Structure 1
Amino acid sequence: MQTFLDYLLPVSIAVIMFGIGLGLTVSDFKRVLISPKAVLFGLFGQLILMPLIGFGIAFAFDLDPIYQLGIILIAACPGGTSSNIVTYMLNGRVALSVSMTAFNSFLIILTIPFILDLAFSLFWTSSREINLSMLDTFRDVALTVFIPVLTGLAARHYFPIIVEKIRKPLRFILPGIMFVVFLLVLINEKQSGDKSLVEYWDLLLPALCLNVLVMFVGFFSSGAAGINHEGKYTIAIEMGLQNSALAIFLANNVIQIDGLSLIAVLYGSFSFFTTLIIAWLMKRFMKKKEAIINP
């Protein structure tokens, strides 16, 4: 099973990132250059605030070091295609969501090695040597994130009619791929673990805290920065719905420590639904507040 996952995970990540690329156009990047405030603040939230919150949660909960590392790993990953889907479902700023996903998918090539190196120095006490060079991580993430996104962008540019026909079904196919990956990893964790996955319920609380806390921090901090209503909950969605599939890939294929992917698997099992519900409540809150201010 593990050998199969070693091939399935990178292929799945590449397909998902290719799907994200199909939703991009050159105008998305032009929009960022013309009005970069929301994207820059969103990237600040994901690249700075999220890891800081992740470290705080890792220190706050009495967890095994491997699970503390798991919290940091999921906090270091970018938003995935699911965040774009949730934003679309709630009529948020889809272009902002896609732009944040794209730019962050490129920037993590530099940020993930730094964040994980810091996490290992703080939490990992084993004498085992961890091979986590920036060059290796750059290569693996580039092959599964950077190149597929650029390929999808090029495909939409040169074959717009074909891409337009498949983009809508991809909104359902890509989450389906992630669901299958999570299911297979869950089965693998159950087979290789020393206890049932049900007994890992105590890990759900820190994972849920990360999901909920970063959403509210993103929502209120972006509001304080002057981001408009739709931008506020779009940033909250992008911060709350991390690319769990990428975290699983990094845990199993790059870092290669047993059990490290468990937090990402648990996070991926509920974060789509909790993020959707919380963002919907944020949207209703804004509407009610606006109705009171402008009756």
Structure 2
Amino acid sequence: MDSVIASVFLPAALAVVMLGLGMSLTVDDFARTARQPRAVAVALTLQLLVLPALCFGLVVASDLPPVLAVGMMLLAASPGGTVANLFSHLFHGDVALNITLTAINSVIAVVTVPLVTNFALAYFAPDLGAGQLTLQFSKMLHVFVIVLVPVGIGMILRRSCPTFADHMDRPVRIASALVLALAVLGTTYNERAHVLGYITSVGVVALIFCLASLTLGFVVPRAMGVEHRQAVAAAFEIGAHNAALAITIAVGVLNSVPLAVPAAVYGLAMFPCTAAVGWLITRGSSRPSAVKSAPAADTSR
């Protein structure tokens, strides 16, 4: 990938998206955890502990090449984002919960992304580039600047100019989709000579990981007593990873286009998979209501 795109465009574009994300957040979104402790706790446990472990198992079982294995782990550590909020809105999830989880994950990701990525580098590729890909402190600071600073500025704008923040909601959603599309296309173009081999190597793993993330994100919260709309929100927050962030870190921070390939392949699969799971969740949710209405009719006679 061209150095200007890698070092300037991708971080700048993602910063704009994170700025817009910040403009949808308030301090109360963080405080809401006290009012929704079970949903938040279950979703965060899945996001921070279960998914990296699941991804690690998939990567080991599929025997991926080291760079692709690290790229998958980087993707697994990446939080959800505006795409998750959009799908939650389309399929009647609890968008407020999505915003809460996004707010918390945006903060935690500054720590968890480097931790998971460094672990993956040490385990899968200890000799890769003589340590060039290590997320050292200076690069961790870069992740902080890309993720947290724009979100903080966006929250300040939200507080001081709420009307402007509301008007920017739709443009930011569109910009998020465009940034993801450009990141996926850019990575694919730069690796065009190897793209078929990469898709063959990592495509099935990325697809399984996407579907497993969405499924666990819905089934586990429901099993833990989380109500339906919150479980829908959790499914999209956990299943719709921020592939653009993973690509930006891989290319703009770690200077490795191959490392971004799993996120690019995942980005191609994520939209149809997420839409299909959303349709199934919505379709399934209509049946319980019909069942519940029958006894009510009988008892009224």
Could you tell me the TM-score, scaled by structure 2's length? 0.91
Contact 1:57 1:206 in 2 (8 A): yes
Query: What amino acid maps onto 1:181 in structure 2?
Result: A
Distance 1:114 1:26 in 2: 26
The yes-or-no answer on 1:221 pairing with 2:220 is yes
* 1:257/1:289 CA distance change after superposition, 3 Å: same
Distance 2:285 2:139 in 1: 41
Instruction: For 1:46-61, list aligned pairs within 5 A.
Output: 46-61=47-62
The yes-or-no answer on 1:187 pairing with 2:185 is no
1:21 CA drift (Å): 0.8
**Aligned length in residues:** 291
Structure 1 residue matching 2:129: 3-state secondary structure: coil
> 1:173-218: per-residue Cα shift (whole Å, max 9, x none)?
321232123222222222xxx43x2343322110000000111112
Distance 2:128 2:164 in 1: 53
Contact 2:14 2:146 in 1 (8 A): yes
Structure 1 residue matching 2:131: 3-state secondary structure: coil
**Matching residue of 1:177:** 179
Contact 2:135 2:254 in 1 (8 A): no
Structure 1 residue matching 2:191: 3-state secondary structure: helix
**Matching residue of 2:229:** 230
Instruction: For 1:1-16, list aligned pairs within 5 A.
Output: 1-6=1-6, 7-16=8-17
Contact 1:130 1:255 in 2 (8 A): no
Query: What amino acid maps onto 2:91 in structure 1?
Result: L
* 1:138/1:36 CA distance change after superposition, 3 Å: farther
> 1:37-75: per-residue Cα shift (whole Å, max 9, x none)?
212221111101110111011011132111111111110
**Matching residue of 2:299:** none
**Matching residue of 2:198:** 200
> 1:204-254: per-residue Cα shift (whole Å, max 9, x none)?
110000000111112111112111001112111111110111111111122
Larger Rg: 2
**Matching residue of 2:27:** 26
Contact 1:109 1:137 in 2 (8 A): no
Unpaired segments ≥5 residues, structure 1: none
Contact 1:12 1:178 in 2 (8 A): no
Query: What amino acid maps onto 1:12 in structure 2?
Result: A
Instruction: For 1:1-295, list aligned pairs within 5 A.
Output: 1-6=1-6, 7-126=8-127, 128-131=129-132, 132-190=134-192, 194-195=193-194, 197-202=195-200, 203-295=202-294
Structure 2 residue matching 1:169: 3-state secondary structure: helix
Query: What amino acid maps onto 1:117 in structure 2?
Result: N
> 1:71-111: per-residue Cα shift (whole Å, max 9, x none)?
11110110121111111111211111111112111101111
* 1:5/1:290 CA distance change after superposition, 3 Å: same
1:36 CA drift (Å): 2.4
Distance 1:127 1:189 in 2: 19
Contact 1:82 1:272 in 2 (8 A): no
Distance 2:211 2:81 in 1: 17
Distance 1:258 1:284 in 2: 39
1:293 CA drift (Å): 4.2
- Alignment RMSD (CA, Å): 1.8
